[in-house]
Amino acid sequence: MNWKAPAWMVPFGATCAGIGFLAAIFHNDAMLWPGLWLFVATLVAANIDRFEKLKASSSGFEFEAKKVVEEARTTVVEMQLLAKHLAEISLSLVKRSARIGGFPAAQEEQIREKTIDLLRRTHVPEADFAEVLDEWHRWVLTDYVFGILGNGMLPGHIDQDAQNQWKEMRRRAFGDNRPSVDELTDWLARHNFLTPERQEYLADYAHYLRHKQHRRFDVWECHSEWPRLDAT
């Protein structure tokens, strides 16, 4: 068989798979099935040359399929990698869009759960989920730090040194050296901001750091509205 797939076919198929994956997350059936069927058709067309020969035997026609099976396994692994990358991208976009309005917290959580469900159905190993969700958790922890520090509202009645410390803790919120619970507690206490309400926010933050789950999701939904720091 002399068929050779053109160079554009593989990226085109990956794009179709990506469209289908995102359409499934957002319940867009009009895009879901065309995207998936185009991907399947492209996958078959791109690999048709791998059916090396068709031969006659006493039992009829049969494919020499051993190589095809091995390559199909490789294709499954590649599809799982693609699913992981698409999941990371879609979850990252959801969280980044929150910087400019984005989705309500409850809808974000639904998208996360549906994305993980799709990964399970694609048979992506559960051990890989932490990598997929890494940036998601970073944004959640960043928003906890921002909320505990009064979001974007600079506290009043503190000196320049304290203001610089407040800005520096916010700056570190997304990194691996994000402010710890003890660091935030100490700073809030030193400046008379450690109210019972703020202590509960700190407990929520500590819980998410340990378990990657919200302790009080109903409170978390309003994290962007947590009040400015006011001295007790």
Helix residue ranges per DSSP H, the chain: 9-25, 29-47, 66-97, 105-121, 129-148, 160-171, 181-190, 196-211, 217-220
Q: What is the reported pLDDT for 156?
A: 79
Residue 181 has pLDDT above 60, yes or no: yes
Q: What is the reported pLDDT for 68?
A: 47
Q: What is the reported pLDDT for 55?
A: 47
The better pLDDT of the pair 139, 65 is held by 139
Q: What is the reported pLDDT for 74?
A: 54
Dist. CA 50–CA 224, nearest whole Å: 55
Residues 181, 206: contact at Cβ < 8 Å? Answer: yes
Residue 123 has pLDDT above 90, yes or no: no
Of 45-49, 55-59, 93-97, 165-169, the one with minimum mean pLDDT is: 55-59
Judge if pTM exceeds 0.95.
Answer: no
Dist. CA 224–CA 92, nearest whole Å: 18
The better pLDDT of the pair 171, 54 is held by 171
Residue 210 has pLDDT above 70, yes or no: yes
Q: What is the reported pLDDT for 3?
A: 53
57-83 confidence digits (pLDDT tens): 444 444 444 554 454 455 556 666 666
Residues of the chain above pLDDT 90, percent: 40
Q: What is the mean pLDDT of the chain?
A: 78
